[in-house]
Amino acid sequence: MDIATLMGVVVVLGAVVYGTRGNLGAYINMPSVAITIGGMLGATMVAYPMDRLVKLMGVVMGTIRRPKLDLIEIVRQLVSFSEKARREGLLALEGDLENLENQFMKKGLQLVVDGTDPELVRSMLETEMDLADDEIRANRAILDSMGYYAPAFGMIGTLVGLIGMLGSLNDPSTLGPNMSVALITTLYGAVLANGYLLPMSENLRDKGALEATAKNMILEGILSIQAGDNPRILEEKLKIFLPPKLREQYEAAREEERTPEGAPTGA
């Protein structure tokens, strides 16, 4: 669960509610909701096929879930597999694959164990990475479109309200409701787009980048294992992918592992 995303959802809603100064009822207008949300959803249905729209709730939930990716653990696993392959051969890795949770790593190592040509291994894994990236782009496109449509239909609602108001200036009792529709639809559209939909799209982009980094690490590690590279060389290759803070954590942990128990760690 991504705590930052959940906190952001609450903060945006809380800020808007606080801005109403306790008069929340005045900001609830069902015709405005119908124009803004109904129009946004209708336009999205026109723009995208139904098989993509039925996944919309899953796309939204995907912004709340955090990928189970530990880059440091990935480096450790690949270095461990490299050491075992150097000692016992590639076939010795087959027994470790059954309990491997990372499906991308599992698939790649299985190809290596099966004796697949290195270029074919690279091609197959890169194709899978490209397809995953395409899926993220497609999901982001839906959220981006909704983020563009919401303010647009907010403005349409404003025009509807203004037309109604101007058409009944001789009836003062209608001015308030029409003006309410005119202003609140713009508010709804702006909050939906800038508070939720567009940030959710950026959220998916960030998580997609993290997954791409992890898969690139795994790809390089698997090809190095297949080529029989020295585990130390493989480790140095993979450390390049780690952000500076994670790299420091990894190196500190490795230093502790190499230091004999009870031996001094510094001057």
Task: Indicate whether 229 belongs to any domain.
Answer: yes
Task: Indicate whether 262 belongs to any domain.
Answer: no
Task: Indicate whether 255 belongs to any domain.
Answer: no
Rounded-to-integer distance, Cα 107 and Cα 97, Å = 9
Residue whose pair of structure tokens reads 């197959």 in the numeric block: 124
pLDDT tens-digit readout, 92-140: 998 889 889 899 999 999 999 999 999 999 999 999 999 999 999 999 9
pLDDT tens-digit readout, 50-72: 888 888 888 888 788 777 788 99
Task: Indicate whether 74 belongs to any domain.
Answer: yes
Element of type H or E holding 241 = none
The domain tally of the chain equals 1
Nearest residue to 27 (alpha-carbon basis) of 144, 165, 146, 190: 190
Task: Indicate whether 257 belongs to any domain.
Answer: no
State the pLDDT at residue 267. 38
Q: Which domain holds residue 149?
A: 1-20+29-250
Task: Indicate whether 258 belongs to any domain.
Answer: no
Q: Is residue 182 within 8 Å of residue 158, measured between CB atoms?
A: yes
Task: Indicate whether 264 belongs to any domain.
Answer: no
State the pLDDT at residue 1. 62
Task: Indicate whether 51 belongs to any domain.
Answer: yes
pLDDT tens-digit readout, 229-239: 999 999 999 99
State the pLDDT at residue 264. 52
And the tokens for 9? 């959802």
